[in-house]
Amino acid sequence: MAKLVVKNLRKVFGDFEAVKDVSFEVNERETICLLGPSGCGKTTTLRMIAGLETPTSGHIYIDDVLVNDVPPQKRGIGLVFQDYAVFPHMSVFENLAFGLKVRKTPKQEITAKVDEIARLLGLGDLLYKSVKGLGLSEIQRVAIGRSVILDPKILLLDEPLSNVDAKVRERMRSELKRIQKEIDIATVYVTHDQLEAMTLGDRIAVMKDGLIEQMAKPDEIYASPHTLFVAEFIGSPSMNLFECELIDREGRVVLDAKDFTIDVTDFAETIKDTATSPELVVGIRPEDIPLNIKKVSPKAIRGEVQLIESLGASSIYHLKVGQKSLLARGFLEVKVGNKVWIMFDMDKLHLFDEKTKVAIW
Amino acid sequence: MARMEQIVKLAARYALLIVVLLWTLGPVVWMISLSLKPPTEWYSPNIIPEKPILDNYINLFISTVPIGGTYFMTSIAEAITRPFINSLIIASISTILAVSIGFLAAYGVSRYKAGGTFTIFFTLLTRMIPGATFVAPLMVYYATLRFLDTYQALILLYTAVTLTYAIWILKGFIDEIPPEWEEAALLEGAHPWTIVTQVTIPLIKGGIAASALFIFILNWTEFLFALVISVTQVITLPVQISMYASAVGRMYGSQAALGLIATIPMVIIGYVIQKHLITGFTFGRVR
Amino acid sequence: MRRLKLLSGDLGEAGTMVKLKLVNVSKRIRKEQVLKNVTFETGDRELFVIAGPPGAGKTTLLKIIAGLVPLDEGEVYIGDEMVNYKLPVEREIGMVFETPAVYPNRTGFENIAFPLRLKRLSDGEIKKQVHEVAEVLQITHLLDRKPHTYSGGELQRVTLARVLVRSPRILLLDEPLKNLDAKIREIMRVELKRLQREFGITMIFTTHDQLEAVAIGDRIAVMNEGVIVQVDAPEKVYNFPKTLFVGRFVGSPSMNLVDCTFREADSRWVLEAEEFSIDVTPVKDRIVTSLTGPELILGVRPQDINLGEKPTSEQSIEATLEITQSLGSEKIAELRVGSILLRALVPPSFAMKIGEKAYIELNREKLFLFDKKTENIVVHGLL
Amino acid sequence: MRMALRKIAEWSRSPKKFGRLLMLPLNIVQNFVLIIPFGIMIFLSFTTWHPLAGVEWWQAPISGISSFAKAFSDARFHWALIRTVIFVAGVVPIEFLLGLGITLLFLGEFRGKKIFTSIVLYPMMVPLVVVGLSFFLMFQDYGPVNLILLKMIFGEEKMISWFLDPTLAFLTIMLADIWQWTPLMFLIIYSGLVAVPARLIEAAKVLGASPMQILRRIQLPLIKPILTIALIIRGLEAFKVFDTVFIMTGAGGPGTATETISAYIYKLAILYNNLSYAAAVSLILLLALALVTRVAIRPIVVKPE
């Protein structure tokens, strides 16, 4: 059975429903990422699991035991806060030992355990330094070590990298992944950064407005987003999305996006079956748009390069197609103002119902 | 079991709270009680007066009426009205001066690192040393200037002494404004003075009000300098109280009434600026 | 068209060239050398990015350009004019600070109107200009609201409007996107570039995020510890880093760096790392000419490592796959070769299992060699 | 006038000059009201001038350090000093401990917390002279302390003349100070504790610390700098004690049993008209306190984190 089970969790603050109905399971040794924009209820969910907030309704099970009424310190959870909340007036050793000390663990046992954890996390040389002088990456390790030393059943991390700047974040993300492998316990990780979720999570739960929109493996969530929101939120640069209408024209079925059309005659049946109306949204990822300087196919659509963002190895091209702006990623020797030809590959296309916001293709 | 424990804990907490309450309010309750009692009840342990009267208050406003009726006449100088107005004038003007001058200096220290270490040390020193050490030279100095027993004497003195508070409290507020907000205006062509009036002051209006009220309290309650400098013309309320207290004979009722009257405005102001009190009393170093 | 009109209306000298030039600018703050001989020149109407880690001196540099901080040595020129002794306002520079200069006690309109009120323009004129700029930035709906109701992106737009309404000759932006959410940051950076083009303004932009820098900069000055290390177009900075610092700073994921020794073995010249060596005999001469010692650092971008399940040549390096991280459009594979850890960027279809042996093929054309002592580049490409 | 203003406006555009302009009023007031008397103090302390001496003070003959010599052998001065130090040493720790105790009582949520807090803070807002007056009234022979409190404890009408006994009189003055300033200590400690970031407390809670452990191991150590400052400031403040002494024991009675240093200097200058000696004593005290301030100033000027 799963390590952590969350069932129909709901939380209301005054007249604001922060978490509406959230259910998920975390298996042994699995990392789940709760991903969503600020205000989506992910942190509240985490705090309820930790026992720092009381759910308005719903159940939380840890190791099959209902813990709704169990105080935080007895739930067997480790919690790492957004800015780590290490105790600034203590040394690394004292921070790591804190949980054991307040439990009145014998001195030798404390020393032994702290040594072990410090070795595991590479904090050995810093044990007797004050945490005030440490770098962020070391503080992160202290915060994790402090929780892990108590052998928690589940580790909860609340946006641990959100206040770190880009270069450092990249390094610390790798380090987290490494630590995760090292300590190997069930983890719930909250973040608003889709890249973090993609790289660290075994599975990702994308949240919006207090609900989970989709929960799946990173690759799956990237390749086939279930809702419009997930499609937009995952991936950088974002997926291109256009409103369009499904119409029959001269015996063919096409998606008419005003400035261009896409022929979908071959798939018309499936689309028509699932769509609630002809109003659809078509989506395509920037890297799935092949760019060409020449018109290589009659289906190709003409665009004009408006802006080029160079990312080093590849570039993002901001194209104007009719009245629409569109992003494509790749590498092409063009300049701003040049004409390029693009193609839409049906395999790479995503279709969403405009009303229900749900994927239909 | 656990429930029982909780109830006991709660009961203990409220019991202790009531002890604290009695300790805090005891002196006030007794003052109120005394101020409503006729002389015949002044020596009774009852807190509720048998025959409550307002005479003790009324007598404060009559200068020549012997206080306490049949009791021994004392050297009470005058009705409370003059000292009350004196206190009001002196406290208000010196508050305005201290806050204005203090704001400028605080702004200079915060933004322009102006006024070297000596000024800062000196302002701190004026706060730390007992006022009594200045009594002797001040007497001599003011006598030479023919300032004794004048408004300007106390106003100047209060301004100088409370400046320290104004500077440190206001500096705390100014420090919280991001300097970028002012630099932006500078780039846009504002004169530094325009920035002060258009950007800084509107942003810390609340802080200025709070520090003004706090300094008003200090001025209103100042005793030592007033005692030394006011002789007959500019007697302030605290000095008036001291005259009652050291008067020959027993006038408990009027003493209590006077004390209460002097306290009421302070308590009102105190609660208005409750959250700024620490800042004031600890120099703006603790918030 | 409308936008251009807005510009030419106020900016009388819109036709003249607006370049910014710094010559040997140095600054000490409390005994610390914050800026050391900073020299660069922007092009006319260029988006010039100053990129560097926090603490590199970027903010101080901008404040010196704006005239808010006095400099110790050197000269600042706007156009051909030396402006060292000019007051900030006379320099006609607009600056967007990291902390948005939007006053919480005033509405959006009053904030944007603030600089115009200082100029004592008539109410009608102020209203007209504020609305014009608000329309360009699509913030008309924010004008009547107070800043605490704005989102991060909206706050940034109002800040920009307040600066642009003065039609400055040069616009300085100090980490304007730092406090925004990742998604909004992406949108805003494009928006900024678009504005810069449309207003035809010289823009100097600082950032600690190399991605932001290469994405929108016409040219980039990479800065470290008060020194400008390299000024170049984004592709140049990426493809031809002048120093180890630039190589490491630009590019995501970061460049892999491997310590190695340059030496002769069996009449071949090789770069010898701990677990592998690379034959560099063909480019030996190029290496030797700019060397201070045999200790070198080999730089390989994750994009330039190819992985195979079997060795494809004698040069293939055996490694163990330790971790894979999915980025959606690609994956990062972390590989161990002895004590060396290498990161490679692989396609999403990459399916090797953790713990398996993988064979690394380095794209020799794209390798970098840095001198370990001077940290300067020795050679780009080992073909 | 307009021209002059414009000139000043132009001149003050430079930051340095504008900064100097901002400090100008402060410097004028300080020089005029404080620095000059300070100079007079120094001058007077080297003379033996008396208001009835027949010469103006600035014509008084310099008499060297005789006043200082006198101060070093003046037992009354020494005792006033010692008494004041005892007062500070007695009052400040008690206020701190009581403040801490009341803080513990106020941790957590309970009904009526707001009202209780407001009431507890009340004494701070009472003017010092009124505090003196109310304690003066409380401790009268027929005051409530004798008539109600002692009767409750001893069961008989034990009549204590508080202000006639040297020790008891001193104690009542201390009590008045404790009554007034314990709330400030409470306020400082309480706000300090509340300002400790919630996440640190939550972190400790999740790690298994009990509320008492959190207080002792996390909250109190974190507010140590604040407490240090509070104690220093309160100590210096208590050293000034005068108003209550003046009201309750007529500035030092019985005899000189409650004569604090402020009261002594006041008497020297005003009652005995011995201005030169008063100035000398003031100067000694001032120099001593300036030294203390220099040391104490450090934690105050350096803003706590």
| B19 & B97 share domain | no
Q: Which of C99, C98, C126 is closest to C114 using CA atoms?
A: C126
Burial C48-67 (b: 16+ CB within 10 A, else e): bbbbbbeebbbbbbbbbbbb
User: CB distance C210–A37 less than 8 Å?
Assistant: no
pLDDT of residue B1: 53
Single-letter residue type at B171:
K
Model confidence band, residue C9 (pLDDT cutoffs 50, 70, 90) = very low
Question: Strand order of the sheet with strand C377-380?
Answer: C277-279, C268-272, C256-265, C295-300, C368-371, C377-380
User: CB distance A199–C54 less than 8 Å?
Assistant: no
Kindly state the tokens that stand for B157: 């003195």
Spatial separation of the C-alpha atoms in residues C232 and A263, rounded to whole Å:
44
Model confidence band, residue C276 (pLDDT cutoffs 50, 70, 90) = confident
Which residues have C-beta within 8 Å of that of residue C123, sequence separation ≥ 6?
none
Q: Over chain B, what is the mean pLDDT?
A: 83
Cβ of residue B157 closer than 8 Å to a chain D Cβ:
yes
Number of neighbouring beta carbons within 10 Å of residue D214: 22
Partners of residue D300 in chain B, C-beta under 8 Å: 124, 283, 285
Kindly state the tokens that stand for C373: 């002592």
* Listed range (A299-308, C3-12, C363-372) with the worst mean pLDDT: C3-12
pLDDT of residue D17: 85
Question: Quick one: average pLDDT of B56-70?
Answer: 59
Partners of residue B228 in chain D, C-beta under 8 Å: 266, 269-270
Interface mutation vs chain A, best among D206, D220, D228, D305, most A CBs within 10 Å: D206
More confident residue, B79 or A284: A284
3-state secondary structure of C252: coil
User: CB distance D269–B191 less than 8 Å?
Assistant: no
**pLDDT higher than threshold 50 for residue B67:** no
Tell me which residue range forms the domain holding B50: 2-60
| B45 & B110 share domain | no
Question: Quick one: average pLDDT of D147-160?
Answer: 73
Q: Which chain C residue is nearest to residue B200, measuring alpha carbons?
A: C103
Share of chain D above pLDDT 70, in %: 95
Question: Which residue of D138, D184, D192 is in closest CB contact with B27?
Answer: D138
Partners of residue A72 in chain D, C-beta under 8 Å: 202, 205-206
Q: What is the pLDDT along chain A (361 residues), one digit of tens a residue?
A: 678 999 999 999 988 899 999 999 999 889 999 999 888 899 999 999 999 999 999 999 999 999 998 988 889 899 998 888 899 999 999 999 999 999 889 999 999 999 998 988 888 888 898 988 888 888 988 999 999 899 899 999 998 887 777 778 888 888 888 888 888 889 999 998 888 899 899 999 999 999 999 999 998 999 899 999 999 899 888 899 988 988 888 888 888 888 888 888 888 888 888 888 888 899 999 988 888 888 888 888 888 988 888 776 788 888 988 888 888 988 888 888 889 998 888 888 899 998 888 888 7
| B6 & B146 share domain | no
How long, in residues, is chain B?
Answer: 287
User: CB distance D202–A88 less than 8 Å?
Assistant: no
User: CB distance C210–A166 less than 8 Å?
Assistant: yes
In a domain, B111, yes or no: yes
**pLDDT higher than threshold 80 for residue D207:** yes
> How do strand A291-292 and strand A339-342 relate by DSSP bridges?
antiparallel
Spatial separation of the C-alpha atoms in residues A225 and A239, rounded to whole Å:
11
Cβ of residue B12 closer than 8 Å to a chain D Cβ:
no
Report the CATH number that the domain containing residue B223 is assigned in CATH. 1.10.3720.10
Pick the CATH number of C2-245 from 3.20.20.70, 3.40.50.880, 3.40.50.300, 3.40.630.10: 3.40.50.300
Cβ of residue A115 closer than 8 Å to a chain C Cβ:
no
D165 to chain A, closest Cα gap in Å: 49
Spatial separation of the C-alpha atoms in residues A156 and A3, rounded to whole Å:
13
Model confidence band, residue B70 (pLDDT cutoffs 50, 70, 90) = very low
Task: Count Cβ atoms within 10 A of the Cβ of residue A175 and give its class: 0-12 exposed, 13-18 middle, 19 or more buried.
Answer: middle
User: CB distance B13–D105 less than 8 Å?
Assistant: yes
D197 to chain A, closest Cα gap in Å: 9
3-state secondary structure of D87: helix
Which residues have C-beta within 8 Å of that of residue B10, sequence separation ≥ 6?
D110
| B140 & B226 share domain | yes
A57 to chain C, closest Cα gap in Å: 31
- What interface predicted TM-score (ipTM) does this complex get? 0.82
Spatial separation of the C-alpha atoms in residues D65 and A184, rounded to whole Å:
81
pLDDT of residue D301: 54
pLDDT of residue A306: 84
Q: Over chain C, what is the mean pLDDT?
A: 87
Interface mutation vs chain D, best among A43, A89, A96, A131, most D CBs within 10 Å: A89
Q: Which of A349, A74, A128, A311 is closest to A225 using CA atoms?
A: A349
Q: Which chain B residue is nearest to residue D283, measuring alpha carbons?
A: B133
Whether the CB-CB separation of A3 and A153 falls below 8 Å is answered with: yes
Region of C31 on the Ramachandran plot (φ > 0 left; ψ -120 to 50 alpha; else beta): left
3-state secondary structure of D11: helix
Partners of residue C118 in chain B, C-beta under 8 Å: 185, 188-190, 194
Model confidence band, residue D188 (pLDDT cutoffs 50, 70, 90) = confident
Cβ of residue C151 closer than 8 Å to a chain A Cβ:
no
Model confidence band, residue B247 (pLDDT cutoffs 50, 70, 90) = low
Question: Per residue in D56-73, pLDDT tens?
Answer: 888 888 888 888 888 888
> How do strand C202-207 and strand C219-224 relate by DSSP bridges?
unpaired
Q: Which chain D residue is nearest to residue A145, measuring alpha carbons?
A: D207
Single-letter residue type at D259:
E
Partners of residue D202 in chain A, C-beta under 8 Å: 52, 72, 79, 81, 85
Partners of residue A103 in chain D, C-beta under 8 Å: 208
**pLDDT higher than threshold 80 for residue B110:** yes
User: CB distance B185–C95 less than 8 Å?
Assistant: no
Whether the CB-CB separation of C166 and C93 falls below 8 Å is answered with: no
Choosing from B11, B29, B60, the residue where a domain stops is: B60
Question: Per residue in D258-290, pLDDT tens?
Answer: 999 999 999 998 888 888 899 999 999 988 888
| B32 & B98 share domain | no
**pLDDT higher than threshold 50 for residue D75:** yes
D 50-79 near B (Cβ less than 8 A): 51, 56-57
pLDDT of residue A142: 92
pLDDT of residue D124: 87
Partners of residue D226 in chain A, C-beta under 8 Å: none
Partners of residue C63 in chain B, C-beta under 8 Å: 183
Q: Where are the beta strands (DSSP E) in C287-363?
A: 295-300, 305-308, 317-326, 331-337, 340-346, 357-362
Chain A, chain D: beta-carbon pairs less than 8 Å apart = 58
**CATH 2.40.50.100, chain C: domain bounds:** 253-380
Number of neighbouring beta carbons within 10 Å of residue A105: 14
CA B227 to each of CA B131, C327, D242, D266: distance values in angstroms, whole numbers, following the listed order: 12, 79, 11, 10
Pick the CATH number of D68-301 from 1.10.10.60, 3.40.50.740, 1.10.3720.10, 3.40.50.300: 1.10.3720.10
Chains A+B touching (3+ CB pairs under 8 Å): no
- Sign of the alpha-carbon torsion through A82, A87, A92, A96: negative
Share of chain D above pLDDT 90, in %: 27
Give bridge partners of residue C29 from the DSSP assignment.
Answer: C32
Cβ of residue A309 closer than 8 Å to a chain C Cβ:
yes
Spatial separation of the C-alpha atoms in residues C99 and C91, rounded to whole Å:
22
Question: Which residue of B31, B163, B228 is in closest CB contact with D270?
Answer: B228
pLDDT of residue C6: 45
- Residue C382, φ and ψ in degrees, nearest 5: -115, 35
Cβ of residue D293 closer than 8 Å to a chain A Cβ:
no
Spatial separation of the C-alpha atoms in residues A298 and A263, rounded to whole Å:
12
Model confidence band, residue D77 (pLDDT cutoffs 50, 70, 90) = very high
Q: Which residues of B touch C (CB under 8 A)?
A: 178, 180-181, 183-190, 194, 198-199, 202-203
Query: What is the signed CA dihedral for D34, D39, D42, D45, rounded to 10 degrees?
Result: -90
**pLDDT higher than threshold 90 for residue D4:** no
Neighboring chains of D (3 or more beta-carbon pairs < 8 A): A, B
Question: Which residue of A72, A89, A103 is in closest CB contact with D206?
Answer: A72
Instruction: Give the number of domains in chain B.
Output: 2
| B51 & B90 share domain | no
Cβ of residue A87 closer than 8 Å to a chain D Cβ:
yes
**pLDDT higher than threshold 70 for residue C2:** no
Which domains are present in chain A? 4-233 (3.40.50.300), 240-353 (2.40.50.140)
Question: Quick one: average pLDDT of B184-196?
Answer: 90
Question: Per residue in C140-160, pLDDT tens?
Answer: 999 999 999 988 889 999 999
Q: For residue C195, how far is the Cα from the chain centroid?
A: 18
Task: Count Cβ atoms within 10 A of the Cβ of residue D199 and give its class: 0-12 exposed, 13-18 middle, 19 or more buried.
Answer: middle
Enumerate the domain spans of chain D.
Answer: 68-301
- Sign of the alpha-carbon torsion through A54, A60, A63, A66: positive
Is the link from the previous residue into C253 a cis peptide, with omega within 30 of 0?
A: yes
C254 to chain B, closest Cα gap in Å: 33
pLDDT of residue B287: 41
Cβ of residue A225 closer than 8 Å to a chain C Cβ:
no
Spatial separation of the C-alpha atoms in residues A144 and A157, rounded to whole Å:
9
pLDDT of residue B68: 34
Chain A, chain C: beta-carbon pairs less than 8 Å apart = 104
For domain C253-380, the CATH class is mainly beta
pLDDT of residue C274: 85
More confident residue, B62 or C173: C173
Cβ of residue B116 closer than 8 Å to a chain D Cβ:
no
- Residue C117, φ and ψ in degrees, nearest 5: -65, -35
Partners of residue C101 in chain B, C-beta under 8 Å: 178, 180-181, 183-185
**CATH 3.40.50.300, chain C: domain bounds:** 2-245
Partners of residue C51 in chain A, C-beta under 8 Å: none
User: CB distance D230–B156 less than 8 Å?
Assistant: no
| B54 & B148 share domain | no
Q: For residue D305, how far is the Cα from the chain centroid?
A: 25
Neighboring chains of C (3 or more beta-carbon pairs < 8 A): A, B
3-state secondary structure of C24: strand
Cβ of residue C105 closer than 8 Å to a chain B Cβ:
yes
Q: Which residue has the tokens 């003059």?
A: B82
Spatial separation of the C-alpha atoms in residues C311 and C308, rounded to whole Å:
7
User: CB distance A73–D197 less than 8 Å?
Assistant: no
Spatial separation of the C-alpha atoms in residues A53 and D236, rounded to whole Å:
45
Model confidence band, residue B246 (pLDDT cutoffs 50, 70, 90) = low
